[in-house]
Amino acid sequence: MKKETRWFCPCNWTYDPVVGEPSQGIKPGTAFEDLPDTFYCPRCHVDKRGFVKKDLIHDLNVVTSNITAN
């Protein structure tokens, strides 16, 4: 299984550390915890404190089985 962490804004925009946030100069690979205090949602402008952390768990065997079965 693979675990990924994403941070969700109340408007449902998601911060993905793999992508970063180029419009604010946030480089790919930047962890949410390392974002500057001035970071905000590019969609609704809520600040960093309004985001909620969610861990996503991917079971690669299930995904592979589903692809093979179809």
Q: Where are the domains of the chain?
A: 2-69
Inter-residue contact 42 to 51 (CB < 8 Å): no
Give dist(CA 41, CA 13) in Å, integer: 7
Q: What is the mean pLDDT of the chain?
A: 85
User: Is 1.20.1250.20 the CATH number for 2-69?
Assistant: no
Instruction: Kindly tell me the sign of the dihedral angle through the C-alpha atoms of 17, 15, 36, 32.
Output: negative
Residue 62 has pLDDT above 60, yes or no: no
Residue for token digits 């609704």?
44
Residue 57 has pLDDT above 70, yes or no: yes
Instruction: Give the model's confidence band at 39: pLDDT under 50 very low, under 70 low, under 90 confident, else very high.
Output: very high
Question: CA torsion angle for 16, 22, 27, 28 (degrees, to 10)?
Answer: 40
pLDDT at position 4, please? 79
Average pLDDT over residues 2-15: 89
